[in-house]
Structures are given as C-alpha cells and as structure tokens.
Amino acid sequence: MKKIVFSICCVILFSNAILAQENNELKKLLWENVESCFSNFNDLDEKDKNNLEIIEDTKNGYLEVCGTYPTCGCYCSTKVAAYKDDKNNYTLLQTNENDCSWTKNVKINQELNQVLPKGFGFNSFSSTQIIPFLKNPAFYLNFTIPIKGTDTKVTPELIPFGLNAKQKSAWVYSYSQNKAEPKSISDIKKIVTGIENNETITYLISGAIDSISPKDLKVIKTSITNKAFSSTKELSAIFTELKNIYNTYLTIEHSYIILGWNKEKGSFFIKEKGDKPKAINFKNFLLHANYWEPIC
C-alpha cells in the first residue's frame, strides 16, 4: 500500500514539475514578444513607470503591456496570446500599437495563410467583386485578442486619413507613418462643416467649380489661402479618394468576424459574422473619421 501511495505521489510531483516547466517556458515566450512596447519603459525612473500597465495571465497564455512614456506622452500597447494545439505547440498572435508613430500591426509566429481561414481578408467582410480604385490602403484588419478563451474578434477599421501608407492593397495587417508619405488633411472637416450646399463636394469632385455657390467657394478658398491645400485641383483629388473609400466602406456587410480556434488543426475558423455597419452619409463619414496629424 505504501509503495502505491509513494508511486502516486511521484507521478503527481513529476506531472507538476513538467507543468511548471511548461508554464515558465510559455511565460518567457510571451515576455519576449512584448518588447516593442515594454522596451520604452526600461530606462525610466519609477515615477514615469507609474504609467505602465501590465496584465499578465501567462498561465492561460495572455500578456498585455501598455502605457504612456516620455517625452511626448506617447501611448504604446502590445498584446500577445498563445493558442495551443493538440500537439502542445503554440501559435502566438500579437498586436502592437504606438500613437506617436501612428503604428498598428498584427503578427503571427507562423505563415498567415496557414493559420487564418482560407482566403481570409477584406472580402470576408464584403462579398463585392469590384472595389473602387484606391491610391493607398484604406482598411486595417484589427484583431482583438481575448484575455480569456480563444474566440478572437476581427474588425475592419479605417486607416487614418492622410497617412498615405505605401502598400498595394485596399486593406492591410499593418501600417505606420514610417512607411508612408503622410499629409495633414484634417481641414477637410472644416470644409465639410462650413459649406451649405450638399452638392458642393460633388461639384468639387467633378471639377464643376463654377457650379459652387460664392459662399461655399469662399470656405474652400480659405483652406487654400491657409495653405492647408495647394489648389482646388488638389482638393478635388483628395475628395475623390475619400469618396472611393466611402463607397468601399458601404460594401461592408459584416462589422466584425469572430474567429474560433481549432485545436486539432492548429488554425482559426470563422465562427460568427456580425451585422452590417450602421448606415452613414458621406458628410458624417468624413466628420467622424480619424485624421493623421504630426505628433511631437
């Protein structure tokens, strides 16, 4: 009887030792993948580190580091989660954000097409076969990593207007002003709120400047006088691009998609699709959008 009890105790101790080792290895793996944000706090004094927030649940495969750091009060965030397959291998999903560099990205430690559902992309949210021509990417597929569980929400969100990311696609998994040619076009909102005739933007896009009322034309020319824009021709090109982005936005049929995790296959699958986004007119689309502005 004593030998049986001793054997059981040995098995339990051995199992706990293996589990503790796995947890330590996973913890190390998670911490290695939050350096993009955490490194900004390494050399700060304790007072500045008060703005650092850490959410650590490495036992369940989740780690988040976020906060603001000097000198500009930049906000950064890195979240990483481990998705375990039935062979005890981990797929790491990581998201990064930095306000000052206008950076957002999602990373996976494997080939995306091997982990995500087949053909997953903007067309998963829109069934349209024709997307208006866009000079620059307009949509970022944002992954919301869960603290608990494995259901992962993906939403198509607009890239800040004026960032002008240089990638050959209407949608991306990452963007940053470091790989862009940004220009501040936030005065677009002043024009939109200042004009009275709803057809003025249409006239501007088509080049029918003579059809614009004197009062609305004054609002437009004020933005040129203030050097926000160089000419009505430039404004026409900007509004044309924004209208194409708006028309693309209108094709979105699902405001989000929930990805489930298939442990046996070690990959994601589409579990749920959200409803169509609420209707919005072009003017409100422009007014509620996020615009790139230089920081620091």
Residues 75-107: tens digit of each pLDDT: 999 999 999 999 999 999 999 999 999 999 999
The position carrying tokens 């009275």 is: 196
DSSP-assigned letter for residue 277: P
What is the Cα–Cα distance from 122 to 134, expressed in whole angstroms? Answer: 14
Question: What secondary structure does DSSP assign to 73-141, as a single string?
Answer: TEEEEEEEEEEE-TTS-EEEEEEEEETTTTEEEEEESS-HHHHSPTT-SGGGT---S-----SS--EEE
Radius of gyration in angstroms for the set of CA atoms belonging to the chain, rounded to a whole number: 25
Q: What angle do CA 192, 126, 204 make, to 5 degrees?
A: 25
Residues in the chain: 296
Instruction: Give residue 166's pLDDT.
Output: 85
Instruction: Give residue 129's pLDDT.
Output: 67
pLDDT along the chain (296 residues), means of 10: 48 43 81 92 79 91 93 91 94 96 95 92 84 87 95 97 89 92 93 93 94 95 89 94 94 97 97 95 94 88
CB atoms within 10 A of CB 244: 17
Instruction: Give residue 16's pLDDT.
Output: 43
Residue 6, Cβ density class (10 Å: 0-12 exposed, 13-18 middle, ≥19 buried): exposed
Instruction: Give residue 130's pLDDT.
Output: 65
Instruction: Give residue 12's pLDDT.
Output: 45
Question: What secondary structure does DSSP assign to 132-167, as a single string?
Answer: ---SS--EEEEEE--SSSS-EEEEEEEPPBT--B--
What is the Cα–Cα distance from 266 to 274, expressed in whole angstroms? Answer: 24
DSSP-assigned letter for residue 255: S
150, 260 contact by CB (below 8 A): yes
DSSP-assigned letter for residue 180: B
67: left (phi over 0), alpha (psi -120 to 50) or beta: left
